[in-house]
Chain A
Amino acid sequence: MKILSLSGFVPEQICDIVRFTQYDGSHTISHYCGYAADFISQVMEDETIDGAVFPKSCDSSRVLSSYLMESGKFLYQIPVPSSSDRAAVSYMATSIRQYQKAIEDFYKISIKDIEKRVERINERNASLKEQYGKLGEGVIYSRYLREIHNLLKTPLLEQQISNIEAGKKGDGKRIYLIGSFLSNCRVLESIEKSGMCIVGDNFPESKRLVFAPEVSAMGDIYENIAVSMLHTQLSPTQNRFSELIVNDLAEIKKKDVEGVIYISQKYCEPYDYLYYIYRKRLDEMNIPILKITMSDSTDNKKLDFELEAFCDLM
């Protein structure tokens, strides 16, 4: 069983999933997110993948089933409620139960290790949270994020966190990153090479994953997973931009951030609309912002000149 997952809204507690990072595929769809198109390519072309799970969170992801329906593979769409109130938690918990049942029916298996997985995820996230707290103070961001990407491609019970501490304080202009899943980590090395030190982010695979509240194994475990998923750092796809921005700006202020780099995929509406507000708020705080738009999951844009100019501007 090898299920490719597109989003942090897919609960890892139920079974192993492989988080999609990047794929150089043949599917291109005009005016459509290149990252999602590469996900389609991998599901359709990679014979080692036998299933796909994705959220109903943006226009590209909501129609993924339409493109994948002929694959004959396991397909499941996870809902993303906007609210985190009682009704939303209960609905999300029911959806997680249905997701488990769909997997059990399709793969003819019985899932019995959710509690063990919950415990392991809690421990892993606590370790990663500790690393996050040391960004710029001994942990180099590019190593930190690559480590997370490697973990998310490894079965949960085999995940081992390496020692990524560099042991020295980072120097350079203090940068905060905002964006959707960073498929191409090479951009991070370019940022660091340009003399900037990344001290925080709001990427889904980092902040929203490692800051997810611990899931309790007591009581209704599905509700507990739902509570954790809906009460972690928000995604713009949950449509509560003002709450999301308040949290990020507080961290930006606390960490004396000197500039923000906003990395988004072309045709990613949630982040395009979010940018509109971020830019206004950061202008008011006199913090410069650089927007980088990637065309797909493997885009390896020559950014050095842009990044150097941005560093000079700061």
Chain B
Amino acid sequence: MEQSVARLQAQLMKDYYKDFSKYTKGRIPEHKVAWVTAFTPVEILEALDIAYYYPESYAAVIAASGKEQTLIQESTKLALSSDCCSYSCCFEGSISLEQGPRGIPPKPDVLIATNNQCNTLPNWWNILAERYDVPLIVLDYPGETVERDIACDYVTQQHKAFIAEMEKLSGRKLQLDKLEDLIRNSEKSVSAWQKVVGEFSKRNINPTALFDGISFLITSRCKAETSQLYMAMADEYRELQPTDDELIPIFWLGYPLWYHPARYLTEILDGYRISGSNYITWWSLDYSGKDSFEKLFQAYNYTFLNLTQKTRTERLSKCIAESNAVGAITLRNKSCKCDFVSAKNVGLPQVEIEIDMIDRNYLDVEKAKARMEIFKEILCTI
């Protein structure tokens, strides 16, 4: 029987949050626990029955619940600079006060950080390692700084060493066929999600649903239910009305604003519609390769933020062309230096707005409105 979008979402969320402190009432998790960054090869953890949680995603959930300010202030009291990534400030406050909309995640047995997104995350994971006194594993992905063969060999050696460590932790032996199945699940999730994203520029889809919807590709990409969810979403979207041609199509270049009920600035977008976003394509990982190791290398070494400016510009330009956008809102995010420069040379008029994806205090709405007015005039004269 086909399952509905709401039912599949509820099932995946229940599975992910069941061991958070709000629901466990002191119960110890059945599996070993890893805290991971958003581009960790979680297929390896899943194959070894290690549970994994994403502090970044939880910081987004906290901001969406409107509770981020108290927690950011708490982290400042603990001597964490407010210049640091707000995901870390918000999450540090949360675990320090043991507060969050779903409590806090189960304590980690291991911390795993990757540098294929930014270099801040491994730094942040070091302070988590200090707090919990558990092993920290940092996986180093060269991206395009060296030739492919060299990078593949180096990353594969690290993945093999990582598997050996995780086998020790879990007390299990990794089954390569199970790993292959899980990678296939991830491929299916990516493929189904791309169908969802493909409808965005054609149908009257609320961007909020996509900004929230991608969270399953982050936290549950190798679960079988994730591709089912996205196929169901794509089917629903195909039934929607076509986009309103009266509205100006615009590209959202940067993170969703997690604290905002719509995740984007509805209040300054009268007369516009968001027709594309780079954030919702970041987890469309390419798992091509002759075996599991090459597939994992390909997927996790060539993540968008780990590419050279030239490749990023090519990918982004393609993404923008598919969206039919005539302009872009480029977010200068206090918490992410790596994404902002993605916007270079994409051949589209852009308006720049200062924000933080977690801390609402970085946005000056009136200033943003004024900029959008000027931007509208520019777009109308082109």
Contact = CB atoms under 8 A, between A and B. Distances in A.
A59 B354 CA distance: 18
Nearest to B88: A273
Question: What is the predominant secondary structure among interface residues of chain B facing chain A?
Answer: mixed
Contacts of A237: 119
A66 B344 contact: yes
Interface string B302-327: 00000011100000000000000000
B354 A30 contact: yes
A83 B142 CA distance: 13
Contacts of A277: 126-127, 130
Contacts of A241: 126-127, 129-130
Contacts of A91: 142, 146, 150, 154
Interface stretch (A109-117, A263-271, A305-313): A263-271
B217 to A, nearest CB: 24
Contacts of A82: 115, 122, 138, 140
Given A58-B119, A66-B344, A239-B113, A267 B142 contact: no
Contact of B308 (A59, A65, A83, A94): A65
A195 interface: no
Contacts of A125: none
Interface size class of A (residues with CB under 8 A): 35 or more
Question: What is the predominant secondary structure among interface residues of chain A facing chain B?
Answer: helix
Given A94-B150, A276-B78, A59 B119 contact: yes
A13 to B, nearest CB: 19
Interface string A9-27: 0000000000000000000
Nearest to A68: B309
B142 A32 contact: no
Contacts of B161: 85, 87
B371 to A, nearest CB: 15
14 contacts: A31-B83, A56-B145, A60-B337, A67-B341, A82-B122, A87-B158, A90-B154, A94-B150, A269-B85, A269-B120, A272-B80, A273-B80, A275-B79, A276-B81
Interface of A: 30-32, 56-60, 62-63, 65-67, 69, 77, 79, 81-83, 85, 87-88, 90-91, 94-95, 98, 236-237, 239-242, 266-267, 269-270, 272-277, 279-280
Interface of B: 78-81, 83-85, 88, 113, 115, 118-120, 122-127, 129-130, 136, 138, 140, 142-143, 145-147, 150, 154, 157-158, 161, 308-310, 332-334, 336-338, 341, 344, 354
